[in-house]
A and B are shown apart, each in its own frame.
Chain A
């Protein structure tokens, strides 16, 4: 069972549960009825799910046919985000490296385990939130709608983004109203794409923005920064440990994802990540050729938004550091010794059958009073064998 205080929304529980017992609490179709005007904002990953020959325009049209008043392509906003990042990095004075804010699980990891690295996070809102902010503003103006009558729904590849909409960090409240998962829309979308056929006038897609669907895409669009991409929880931990030790200061920007290949490998996607990567690369090639370098955003537009601080992170990020073992140093030291003593009684197999991920984690839970040593099946078996031996008494075989 996950400890909500320690959970960073990596979504691995959803990915690995063979019985489908862990599910993301996505929006319900009835939620759409609360609004007069609804818009779906699909993660760029959605374009990677239906094979290399299906155009983003077809996916967007199919999505609209499922009952939204409008659909919104995020590639242009990711493109603008890259320009805003370029502008920020050229004026920033450190601490280095700056870390991308695209993956909410990475942000949670930093707030929890690397609180001293909060200043390294890029102080720009994620592209999906900026898109929702801009879109709500535009729709209210253009259509004379009350902003609260506009329902903006993200189509998400992961539970981390879903949770970031319900409990945002760096924002008082999300500009999005909810999220559906790519997986739950997959079947209806596939049927609609087939039924509707090719699109006559496809909408412009930014190749520079589209690359954001996969690890390496965010930095690919940056002008001339010294950058690194890291993906997958284990590697992210390694690289963040290095940053904390003061290494990697020569790096300007790190793009980090909890999922092994960025958003295309999110736990709520359907298509395999290798096929998804190929599909994105194909689409980028088709669109990149059409629009020169792949950017579709006039620089003047980005400059105007920069002047009004449109991209800026709205709230200061608050650390939620791990609880120390004790209330003071003396108690913490005493409890750490106790953890070490308990560890010598545990099998060290890290089997996780007790519910804790490792023997060390169980020992810590026991010392904190949140678990019992007999939660360990090996300790329990040992206890039973000892009890059986003592009732038989000496002399028995």
Chain B
């Protein structure tokens, strides 16, 4: 990756449904200021929102690091939480460990990770069960 021109980090707290989506919204407005193309911002926002909600639903807390270079936007979401034991299974559309309460809130359809994969140009999941999960995804802007 090229040297980032811009970087900012955001904290996301697990269980914080009240502020769910706010980090995605803030990043979106930064991208607009930086003049990134609307369709690319939209794809990035879908990924950011899903990643943010994943932390809120399943992890204790996370740092979302957002970096912009002349070539791409790169986001790393590193959480401390239960981790994912079977990544391949977690990537299957419709597969979910969401509780009834989460589903009642309209979440937990099992489309989070597949949605991120479909919205970005590069996507990687690293996880250690019992420790946490790190999502890395890239949207190319050049």
Contacts and interface: CB of A to CB of B under 8 A. Distances in A.
Nearest to A114: B38
Contact of A336 (B21, B33, B42, B46): B33
B28 interface: yes
Contact of B28 (A244, A324, A326): A244
Contacts of A115: 38
Nearest to A324: B35
Contact of A329 (B24, B34, B46, B50): B34
Contacts, number: 64
Interface in B1-56: 5-6, 21, 24-25, 28, 30, 32-36, 38-39, 41-42, 45-46, 48-50
B85 interface: no
B38 A336 contact: no
A247 B39 CA distance: 16
A319 interface: yes
Interface in A224-251: 241-242, 244-247
B41 A116 contact: yes
Interface residues of B, number: 26
Contacts of A244: 28, 42, 45
A325 B70 contact: no
B136 interface: no
Most buried by B among A115, A245, A333: A245
A322 interface: yes
Nearest to A322: B32
A336 to B, nearest CB: 6
B46 to A, nearest CB: 4
Contacts of A247: 21, 49
Interface in A279-334: 319, 321-322, 324-326, 328-330, 332-333
B68 interface: yes
A322 B35 CA distance: 9
A246 B45 contact: yes
A330 B34 CA distance: 9
A336 B30 contact: yes
B38 A321 contact: yes
Interface of B: 5-6, 21, 24-25, 28, 30, 32-36, 38-39, 41-42, 45-46, 48-50, 68, 70, 115, 119, 141
14 contacts: A115-B38, A116-B38, A116-B39, A116-B41, A242-B21, A245-B46, A246-B46, A324-B34, A326-B35, A329-B34, A329-B70, A329-B141, A330-B70, A336-B34
